């Protein structure tokens, strides 16, 4: 890769945090990009990204810098992705490939369609299934995406050349690509990610407000620690994800409530046969999660 | 310790799995015990425990071996602890200290009182707050309890010499001791351990039965993996814990349901201010869990 023409000449990364920074470092390591320009709200963070070697320079004007690059990656939290799409709507850059990393796809694609007009064909919605609770460029690593999946949910009219370049970019980081329908993506992510986040937040709130809270803090062990890990995620970002993916998430909460009530009845009635069967089925399912899990995590 | 008289002369460990095996290895490493006799259902496992140097010999007759030892540790799953207490009721050993490791204390103490008669004063209910999903002697380690808490919930009439020896035994393993009321223990453990286990089992069952299950398995990342870790726990053991601690667990499930409905309404109504505040409070509480967490985990 580094001997020939780089895959991407000029790349803009908007939001050089954990995801954007790790992407920059991975592309750089592979020699897959000539110049990376960082855009963001936090000058402190952008300067750190320069020091870390993730980006070459900074631009404070997305619209201006956007016109003369090959690709723009919107790597901010979901609500800010939408804000930047609105910013681009003033002058959607021509023939520039735009992609994002948001955990919700339908809402962002709707915004992109409205904001980018005919340039929407160059918008390739993406979502790397990787992350850590600790945010920011300090936590970024060029290996973050190795052995992880990146989902792309292009629309019917999305330009195939655009899809291909975004696909190649993620392959360079060591990720594998899953092409998926946007509805399916949002339904699946609601169940595998958004619902568990909500449940972990609720669990953590319940403990904090319990009369025995002090004792509870003292007695938490590894199980509780892992169960509530996602409750350390960024509240603003997760508030936005929850609301953006509301319909799927509400369906999942409702169905979770039904299942929780089922198990409550088994416990109430000391129905140990049903309870053990349900726990067994769950453990069996969890062993599939362990088998199919990305080895890199 | 190894230069003087050992803390315990003859020790019986009933159930030489993860907890019992780790205790044996820790006591042995410290030279705190002269002889450890293993009792259990699985001859294969007991032979492994001898090979691992955890126990010196095996006895198939608890009643018989129990009469001539200093201490008996019941280190099986909770329902089996009760079965062994019933076995001891035929001839409760005189002046032998008996302790257990069960995650539910009130039910076991009631059984012990009924089974041990006046020897109940030598029963010291215990619960090491440590564990792994992987059970058995193969997973045992002498360091399992280092920097972890062991809760003791003695009754009013429990012999202070008995409490003291059990306390010293656990201190040898590197654990710290928390003395607690049995009711408080069961209430706290319901919230910090039993409820999260039930929720993880429900989450795992929900995913397994979803129409998109195959896609979901493919898309689970680290957050889901950690959230459902406890769903890999032993179904039989957790069915018994759930039913034994039913009253506390039902209270916690009911209150969790109320809080989940609150958050569902916030999502439904796109009440982003309330949602963000709730997530913020939860993250704040989780940071306390991280601070107070046993460093060994």
pLDDT tens column, B50-65: 999 999 999 989 999 9
Residue % of chain A over a pLDDT of 70:
97
A137-153 average pLDDT score = 94
pLDDT class of B254 with cuts at 50, 70, 90: very high
Whether residues B267 and A288 touch (CB distance < 8 A) is answered with no
Chain A's closest residue to B188, CA to CA, is A216
Identify which of A98, A82, A76, A103 has the alpha carbon closest to the alpha carbon of residue A21: A76
pLDDT class of A1 with cuts at 50, 70, 90: very low
Contacts of A246 in chain B (CB under 8 A): 267-268, 270
Residues A144 and A24 both lie in one domain: yes
CB pairs < 8 Å spanning A and B: 308
Contacts of B248 in chain A (CB under 8 A): none
Residues B83 and B122 both lie in one domain: yes
Residues B87 and B212 both lie in one domain: no
Examine the fold and report which residue of B151, B180, B209 is the final residue of a domain before the chain moves on: B180
**Inside any domain, residue A248:** yes
**Inside any domain, residue B2:** no
pLDDT class of B295 with cuts at 50, 70, 90: very low
Confidence at residue A188, expressed as pLDDT on a 0 to 100 scale: 96
Q: Point out the residue among A188, A207, A257 whose CB comes nearest to the CB of B216.
A: A188
d(CA B179, CA B116): 22
Contacts of A252 in chain B (CB under 8 A): 206
H or E element at residue B12: strand B8-14
**Inside any domain, residue A3:** no
Whether residues B231 and A283 touch (CB distance < 8 A) is answered with yes
pLDDT tens column, B182-240: 999 999 999 999 999 999 999 999 999 999 899 999 888 888 999 999 999 999 999 99
Assign residue B274 the CATH number of its domain: 1.10.3660.10
Residues B139 and B198 both lie in one domain: no
Lowest mean pLDDT segment, chosen from A126-140, A274-288, B90-104: A126-140
Q: Point out the residue among B189, B223, B290 whose CB comes nearest to the CB of A196.
A: B223
Residues A117 and A53 both lie in one domain: yes
Residues B28 and B125 both lie in one domain: yes
Contacts of A216 in chain B (CB under 8 A): 188, 191-192
Q: Point out the residue among B192, B197, B256 whose CB comes nearest to the CB of A216.
A: B192
Contacts of A276 in chain B (CB under 8 A): 235-236, 239
Q: Point out the residue among B188, B216, B257 whose CB comes nearest to the CB of A260.
A: B257
Chain A's closest residue to B279, CA to CA, is A235
Instruction: Supply the mean pLDDT for chain B.
Output: 94
Residue B268 has pLDDT above 90, yes or no: yes
Residues B207 and B146 both lie in one domain: no
Residues A191 and A161 both lie in one domain: no
Q: How many structural domains are present in chain B? A: 2
pLDDT tens column, B65-91: 999 999 999 999 999 999 999 999 999
Whether residues A235 and B282 touch (CB distance < 8 A) is answered with yes
Whether residues B225 and A184 touch (CB distance < 8 A) is answered with no
Q: How far is B223 from chain A (nearest CA, A)?
A: 6
Q: What is the pTM of this model?
A: 0.91
CA dihedral B14, B16, B19, B20 (to 10 degrees): 50
A29 contacts A142 by C-beta, under 8 angstroms: yes
Chain B's closest residue to A288, CA to CA, is B217
Identify which of A201, A212, A90 has the alpha carbon closest to the alpha carbon of residue B266: A201
Confidence at residue A222, expressed as pLDDT on a 0 to 100 scale: 83
A261-280 average pLDDT score = 97
Confidence at residue A206, expressed as pLDDT on a 0 to 100 scale: 96
B281-288 average pLDDT score = 95
**Inside any domain, residue B55:** yes
Q: Which DSSP string do the residues of chain A spell out, in sequence order? A: -TTS--SEEEEEEE--SHHHHHHHHHHHHTT-EEEEEEE-S-HHHHHHHHHTTS-SEE-S-HHHHHTT-SEEEE-S-HHHHHHHHHHHTTSPPTT-EEEE--S--HHHHHHHHHHHGGGGGGEE-EEE----SS-SGGG--TTTTTT-EEEE---TT--HHHHHHHHHHHHHTT-EEEE--HHHHHHHHIIIIIHHHHHHHHHHHHHHTSTTHHHHHHH--HHHHHHTGGGGS-HHHHHHHHHHTHHHHHHHHHHHHHHHHHHHHHHHTT-HHHHHHHHHHHHHHHHHHHHHS-TT-
List the domain range (segments joined by +) for residue B36.
8-180
Residues A204 and A132 both lie in one domain: no
Q: How far is A97 from chain B (nearest CA, A)?
A: 25
Contacts of B252 in chain A (CB under 8 A): 206
**Inside any domain, residue B1:** no
Residues A88 and A153 both lie in one domain: yes
* Parallel, antiparallel or unpaired: strands A71-74 and A8-14: parallel
Residues A39 and A167 both lie in one domain: yes
Q: How far is B107 from chain A (nearest CA, A)?
A: 14
pLDDT tens column, B175-186: 999 999 999 999
Q: Point out the residue among A195, A208, A285 whose CB comes nearest to the CB of B285.
A: A208
**Inside any domain, residue A297:** no
pLDDT tens column, A190-245: 999 999 999 999 999 999 999 989 999 988 888 899 999 999 999 999 999 999 99
Whether residues B272 and A129 touch (CB distance < 8 A) is answered with no
Examine the fold and report which residue of B153, B180, B207 is the final residue of a domain before the chain moves on: B180
Confidence at residue B292, expressed as pLDDT on a 0 to 100 scale: 73
**Inside any domain, residue A1:** no
Residue B293 has pLDDT above 70, yes or no: no
**Inside any domain, residue A2:** no
A35 contacts A68 by C-beta, under 8 angstroms: no
Residue B2 has pLDDT above 50, yes or no: no
Residue with tokens 């890199």: A296
Q: Please report the ipTM that was assigned to this predicted complex.
A: 0.90
pLDDT tens column, A37-75: 999 988 999 999 999 999 999 998 999 999 999 999 999
Residue % of chain B over a pLDDT of 70:
97
Distance between alpha carbon B27 and the CA centroid of its chain, in Å? 18
B123 contacts B71 by C-beta, under 8 angstroms: no
Examine the fold and report which residue of B180, B202, B231 is the final residue of a domain before the chain moves on: B180
Contacts of A282 in chain B (CB under 8 A): 200-202, 204-205, 208, 231, 235
Residues B236 and B169 both lie in one domain: no
Instruction: Supply the mean pLDDT for chain A.
Output: 94
Q: How far is A134 from chain B (nearest CA, A)?
A: 12
Lowest mean pLDDT segment, chosen from A124-133, B73-82, B260-269: A124-133
Assign residue B144 the CATH number of its domain: 3.40.50.720
Whether residues A267 and B242 touch (CB distance < 8 A) is answered with yes
């Amino acid at each position: 890769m580094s001997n020939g023409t780089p895959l991407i000449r000029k790349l803009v990364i908007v939001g050089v945090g954990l995801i954007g920074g790790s992407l920059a470092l991975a592309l750089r390591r592979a020699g897959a990009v000539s110049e990376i320009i960082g855009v963001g709200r936090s000058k402190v963070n952008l300067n750190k990204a320069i020091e870390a070697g993730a980006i070459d320079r900074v631009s404070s004007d997305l619209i201006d810098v956007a016109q003369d690059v090959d690709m723009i990656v919107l790597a901010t939290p979901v609500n800010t992705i939408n804000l930047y799409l609105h910013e681009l709507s003033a002058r959607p850059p021509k023939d520039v490939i735009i992609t994002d990393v948001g955990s919700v796809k339908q809402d962002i694609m709707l915004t992109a369609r409205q904001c980018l007009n005919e340039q929407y064909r160059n918008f390739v919605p993406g979502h790397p299934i990787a992350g850590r609770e600790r945010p920011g460029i300090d936590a970024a690593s060029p290996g973050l995406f190795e052995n992880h999946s990146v989902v792309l949910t292009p629309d019917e009219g999305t330009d195939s050349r655009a899809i291909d370049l975004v696909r190649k970019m993620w392959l360079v980081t060591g990720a594998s690509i899953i092409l998926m329908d946007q509805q399916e993506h949002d339904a699946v992510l609601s169940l595998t990610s958004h619902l568990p986040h909500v449940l972990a937040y609720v669990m953590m709130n319940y403990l904090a407000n319990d009369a025995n809270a002090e004792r509870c803090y003292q007695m938490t062990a590894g199980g509780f620690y892992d169960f509530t890990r996602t409750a350390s995620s960024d509240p603003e970002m997760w508030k936005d994800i929850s609301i953006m993916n509301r319909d799927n998430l509400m369906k999942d909460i409702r169905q979770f409530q039904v299942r929780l009530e089922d198990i409550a009845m088994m416990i109430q009635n000391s129905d140990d046969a049903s309870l053990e069967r349900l726990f067994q089925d769950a453990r069996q399912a969890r062993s599939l999660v362990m088998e199919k899990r990305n080895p890199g995590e």
